[in-house]
Amino acid sequence: QYSFQENGWGAYLAERLVRKCDVVNRGISGYNTRWAKLILPRLVTENTSADSIVAVTIFFGANDSALKELNPKQHVPLEEYAANLKSMVQYLKSVDITADRIILITPPPLQESAWEKACRAKGDKLNRCNATTGQYAQACVQVARECGTDVLDLWTLMQKNQDFSSYLSDGLHLSTKGNSFLAAQLWSRLENKLSALPSLLPYWRDVDHTNPEASLL
């Protein structure tokens, strides 16, 4: 949901692809794969023209990996999380969106001290831990391998920088730097597919002003 805020990774992609294709954001704050699996057919219907879709990203795990005893509403068991991801990929394939157009994104790492501070400010205890999030990230990578899709292992990539806290605004959600990092990593996977897309309409200087219909219709 926050990917279209100022400096968000979705906004970055939309800017890169302006007049080439529309970037459709269906991220919903706080949701997990259990809920997303149910609403996916409403977001991408059977009547959707698969030929018009060049890429789909599926980005879940930060909420699913919440600790059950402290956050039972968002928590989804690890095996169910993997099964839900697989189910979503299979649904997309069933409406003719091929595996080479699907990219799974793992949850980012959790910076526990910062997130604990955010939790305590709300009167809560620390309700996630990075090691558990890592298990969900590994499951996401495995699902991608089994389903033949691409995967962006954000959890691993971000921790190659030992101090990954700057990628997160509160220990959980992406900061401006984290959004830029995700956008750059994702664009490197999409650029070959998408940068060659033709412009939807001609550049204004190329429009025949004496007969615009010839250029625009």
Q: What is the pLDDT of residues 99-121, one digit of tens each?
A: 999 999 999 999 999 999 999 99
Q: Extract the tokens encoding 103.
A: 């990219």
pLDDT for 151 equals 97
pTM of structure: 0.93
Q: What are phi and psi of 24, to 5 degrees?
A: -100, 120
List Cα–Cα distances, 15 to 12, 61, 195, in angstroms: 5, 26, 12
pLDDT for 12 equals 93
Containing structural domain, residue 59: 2-215
CATH classification of the domain holding 114: 3.40.50.1110
Q: What are phi and psi of 10, to 5 degrees?
A: -65, -40
pLDDT for 128 equals 96
User: What is d(CA 14, CA 124) in angstroms, rounded to the nearest whole number?
Assistant: 36
Residues 149, 142: contact at Cβ < 8 Å?
Answer: no
What count of Cα atoms within 13 Å lies in the side-chain half-sphere of residue 210?
0
pLDDT for 54 equals 92
How many distinct structural domains can be found in the chain? Answer: 1
Which segments of the chain have a pLDDT < 50? none
